[in-house]
């Protein structure tokens, strides 16, 4: 029995993340919280108490902000609004740990420092508008950092690296600012990090429901294989036309069009067809039908009659989608997604099951995530296919 506990991979993951001493103390009856593990909580409490003292000491600044320190207090109120909601949400999700307080302290410090630098740019604006901007910067410190990079690029006449990734997490359906900040604590900053992350570690650390996390990964894999969308209004304004965008089959070719990038057009066209993830695309256009094997070198086998008339030729380029299907069909990161979907709920009535599973006669089974971890280690491959 002792040998089995020692070789338990999940026990090792708990010990690696929480510490071996914490796991051992959990088995003891006289468990006590150590002071060093509570240091972030004490630090956050002291900083919040000190800043709230400055706010309540002279509350007249709320009606008429005048100095930089008044704007800094508005920044703190915005940061406190975000931190308070984040901590309460994590408490209800049983995910409130000491690292949450350390992240809160970091957000407050970054927001205050960013507002100090941005004040040099906004000092000519009315104080009331600057106070509103300070509050928003407290909630979203990256806004101030992005503004500072634009100003620095204009003044220095050099290319300053942008802080916004090319494939940001906020473009994934269902991933809001709260989950985005939580994933950022785990080192997941964009879709590429999410698609290549270890699902077991992310589930263990973030307490995100497995089905929701798998769906985010599924979406990210599709978007990563498309040209990125515009990241800002100024980037959309700078898009230049290339070729005749009204010609059939030409809308998604090239890196940009007269109104949007190729990635925006392709994503919109797929979404109008009800396709929002990589597995949706592979189900809607099975590779063995959309891209059949050639009978002769350099000659493509014609599409089946039942499939050819369904191809959305007016909105999507046929060759582009064929290549996309080839790449996604060989994508190894989709293995955990297929495994999770295959082990999900099965309809009792055969006619209600997906077409690829209607040959199965097994009763409905709800898989326990704890018993069968969706890490892609077992029974790889997608359901009923290659």
Tens of pLDDT, residue by residue over 286-329, are 887 777 766 555 555 555 554 555 555 555 667 777 888 888 98
pLDDT digits (tens, 9 = 90+) for 172-213: 998 888 898 899 888 899 999 999 998 888 888 888 888 899
pTM of the model: 0.71
Structure tokens belonging to residue 128: 């009331």
SS3 of residue 206 by DSSP: helix
3-state secondary structure 161-189: CCCCCCCCHHHCCCCCHHHHHHHHHCCCC
CA 122, CA 129: separation in Å to the nearest integer?
A: 9
Query: Do 98 and 36 form a contact (C-beta atoms < 8 A)?
Result: no
Looking at residue 257, its pLDDT comes to: 45
Looking at residue 234, its pLDDT comes to: 57
Structure tokens belonging to residue 334: 């989709």
Query: Do 226 and 266 form a contact (C-beta atoms < 8 A)?
Result: yes
Q: Is 266 left (phi over 0), alpha (psi -120 to 50) or beta?
A: alpha
Q: Is the pLDDT confidence value at 374 over 80? A: no
Query: Do 347 and 363 form a contact (C-beta atoms < 8 A)?
Result: no
Query: Do 72 and 115 form a contact (C-beta atoms < 8 A)?
Result: yes
Query: Do 251 and 315 form a contact (C-beta atoms < 8 A)?
Result: yes
Looking at residue 361, its pLDDT comes to: 47
Query: Do 277 and 219 form a contact (C-beta atoms < 8 A)?
Result: yes
**Alpha carbon of 9 to those of 123, 261, 343, 373, 374: distances in Å?**
56, 45, 22, 12, 14
Query: Do 84 and 178 form a contact (C-beta atoms < 8 A)?
Result: no
Q: Is the pLDDT confidence value at 364 over 50? A: no
CA 269, CA 314: separation in Å to the nearest integer?
A: 10
**Minimum mean pLDDT range among 27-41, 83-97, 203-217, 342-356:** 27-41
Structure tokens belonging to residue 343: 């082990």
CA 75, CA 81: separation in Å to the nearest integer?
A: 10
CA 167, CA 193: separation in Å to the nearest integer?
A: 10
Q: Is the pLDDT confidence value at 249 over 50? A: no
Q: Is the pLDDT confidence value at 7 over 70? A: no
pLDDT digits (tens, 9 = 90+) for 101-150: 999 999 999 999 999 999 888 888 888 899 999 999 999 988 888 888 88
Q: Is the pLDDT confidence value at 36 over 80? A: no
Determine phi and psi for 261, rounding to 5 degrees. Answer: -70, 165
Query: Do 175 and 277 form a contact (C-beta atoms < 8 A)?
Result: no
**Alpha carbon of 262 to those of 124, 191, 201, 242: distances in Å?**
40, 18, 34, 11
Nearest 5°: the CA angle 97, 197, 13 is 50
Percent of the chain with pLDDT over 70: 67
**Alpha carbon of 384 to those of 59, 87, 275, 358, 375: distances in Å?**
66, 43, 20, 10, 19
Structure tokens belonging to residue 59: 């509350």
Query: Do 267 and 229 form a contact (C-beta atoms < 8 A)?
Result: yes
**Minimum mean pLDDT range among 43-47, 198-202, 218-222, 366-370:** 366-370
pLDDT digits (tens, 9 = 90+) for 339-363: 888 887 778 887 777 776 665 444 4
């Amino acid at each position: 029995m002792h040998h089995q506990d020692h070789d338990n991979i999940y026990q090792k993951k708990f010990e690696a993340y929480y510490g071996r001493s914490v796991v051992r103390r959990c088995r003891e009856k006289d468990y006590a919280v150590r002071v060093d593990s509570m240091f972030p909580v004490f630090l956050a409490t002291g900083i919040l108490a000190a800043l709230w003292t400055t706010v309540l000491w002279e509350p007249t600044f709320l009606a008429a902000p005048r100095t930089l320190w008044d704007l800094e207090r508005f920044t703190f109120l915005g940061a406190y609004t975000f931190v308070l909601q984040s901590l309460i949400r994590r408490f209800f999700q049983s995910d409130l740990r000491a690292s949450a307080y350390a992240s809160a302290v970091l957000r407050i410090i970054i927001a205050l420092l960013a507002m100090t630098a941005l004040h040099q740019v906004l000092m000519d604006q009315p104080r009331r508008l600057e106070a509103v901007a300070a509050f928003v910067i407290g909630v979203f410190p990256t806004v101030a950092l992005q503004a500072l990079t634009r100003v620095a690029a204009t003044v220095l006449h050099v290319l300053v690296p942008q802080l916004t990734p090319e494939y940001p997490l906020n473009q994934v359906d269902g991933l809001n600012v709260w989950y985005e900040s939580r994933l950022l604590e785990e080192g997941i900053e964009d879709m590429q990090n999410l698609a290549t992350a270890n699902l077991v570690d992310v589930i263990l650390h973030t307490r995100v429901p497995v089905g929701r996390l798998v769906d985010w990964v599924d979406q990210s894999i599709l978007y990563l294989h498309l040209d990125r969308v515009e990241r800002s209004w100024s980037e959309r304004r700078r898009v230049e036309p290339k070729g005749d965008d009204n010609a059939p089959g030409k809308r998604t070719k090239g890196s940009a069009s007269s109104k949007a990038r190729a990635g925006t057009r392709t994503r919109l066209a797929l979404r109008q067809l009800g396709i929002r993830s990589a597995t949706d695309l592979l189900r809607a256009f099975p590779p063995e039908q959309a891209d059949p094997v050639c009978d002769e070198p350099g000659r493509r086998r014609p599409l089946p009659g039942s499939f050819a008339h369904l191809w959305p030729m007016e909105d999507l380029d046929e060759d582009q989608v064929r290549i996309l299907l080839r790449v996604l069909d060989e994508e190894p990161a989709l293995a955990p997604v297929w495994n999770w979907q295959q082990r999900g709920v099965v309809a009792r009535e055969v006619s209600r099951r997906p077409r690829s599973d209607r040959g199965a006669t097994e009763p409905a089974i709800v898989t326990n995530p704890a018993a069968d971890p969706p890490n892609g280690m077992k029974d790889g491959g997608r359901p009923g296919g290659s």
